[in-house]
Amino acid sequence: MTTIRLDHLKKRFGKTEVIHGVDIDIQDGEFIVIVGPSGCGKSTLLRMVAGLETVTSGDILINGARVNDKEPMARNIAMVFQNYALYPHMSVFDNMAYGLKIAKTPKAEIAERVQATAKLLQLDAYLTRRPRELSGGQRQRVAMGRAIVRKPDVFLFDEPLSNLDAKLRVQMRLEIKELQRNLGVTSLYVTHDQVEAMTLADRMIVMHDGVADQIGAPLEVYQNPKTRFVAGFIGSPATNFFAAGVLTGIGNPALTKGLDAVAKAGLDKAGATVGIRPEHMTLCAADQGHLNLVVSYTEALGAETLVHARLDNGDTITARQSGHLDLPQRGQRLGVAWPNEALMIFNQGGLRLQA
């Protein structure tokens, strides 16, 4: 049983603070995904848990014990890296066994653990091969196997699928999730890919400029983003944003309540922003919806079509429609509508206002 607590964790490089106080309690066996764009601090956060970066302030507790000052090897964690970090001159068996040999584990136990893990990862037929004789997916399995044989309390994954092609990433994503469920090991996983985050996580930490903008289950974060950044980062295609003033004349109750909340907070209504996800937008005849638009171009993806268009005020939006519907033509003038409950309103600071 392994729990982790990050208590107001901060990290500073010189005078620059890169992690601004992250708080989370991670339960035993939970799969936490830390997601965000490049430079947001997600890998730094993971490296602090691993002991590869010192903590400026705050505490890391594993099973209630403070580990800030413990060396990485004393934390009983195992890390899987983006570049596999395999020894090219060693066989698959020796790569997987290396950590156990360093720990002076008996040879019989090493052989038993490696054989069992290789079978679990479908690597038992490749134990005598060198890394250069393996595919990218097999190398990644070897890297995971090296972590599994150590029987750690915590798995740490640092963008482990970034070097794989798209099809293999999907396959490995499913394998990692199934493996983690079967082993029941508490895991932290870093990625910049929001699709990976949505499909893998029990809960996700959405990082933005060193701040945990939102922590929650994937669907909770997707359906109820707390900030404009989260609304724009989670979801593909990205949420459409435009100034609330564009909609002030359409008589939308949700918008009216949201703008009233902006005013009550002492903020300028003109600075408020509206967000609507592409899948909530319905195209219709011109002057029949909430707004009019002119089609710029379309992406026919088979099951769905993405329609990219420009509003009368110059803002660009994307609408998603079924691939079975007629394809809108470039330059065609249409209307667009959406259900009231789909509207998201954000103040000047980017915080979501609940109508």
| Same domain as 159, residue 34 | yes
pLDDT at residue 249, as a whole number: 52
Pick the more confident residue, 336 or 10. 10
Confidence tier at 268 by pLDDT (50, 70, 90):
low
Domain boundary among 179, 203, 233: 233
Number of domains in the chain: 2
Pick the more confident residue, 86 or 263. 86
Domain boundary among 212, 233, 254: 233
H-helix segments, 10-76: 42-50
| Same domain as 187, residue 129 | yes
Contacts of 173 (CB under 8 A, 6+ apart): 161, 196, 199, 200
Structural domain boundaries enclosing 159: 4-233
Min mean pLDDT across 46-50, 161-165, 330-334 is at: 161-165
**Cα four-point dihedral sign 70, 72, 78, 83:** positive
- Average pLDDT over the chain, rounded to an integer: 89
| pLDDT tens for each residue of 276-286 | 999 999 998 88
| Same domain as 261, residue 200 | no
- From 43, 24, 139, select the one nearest 91 (Cα to Cα): 139
| 205-222: average pLDDT | 96
Residue whose pair of structure tokens reads 């490995």 in the numeric block: 172
| Same domain as 229, residue 116 | yes
Say if residue 27's pLDDT is above 70: yes
Coil, helix or strand for 355?
coil
| Same domain as 212, residue 123 | yes
pLDDT at residue 117, as a whole number: 93
Domain boundary among 233, 252, 282: 233
Confidence tier at 248 by pLDDT (50, 70, 90):
low
User: 155 near 118, Cβ under 8 Å?
Assistant: no
| pLDDT tens for each residue of 129-146 | 999 999 888 998 899 999
| Same domain as 289, residue 227 | no
pLDDT at residue 77, as a whole number: 93
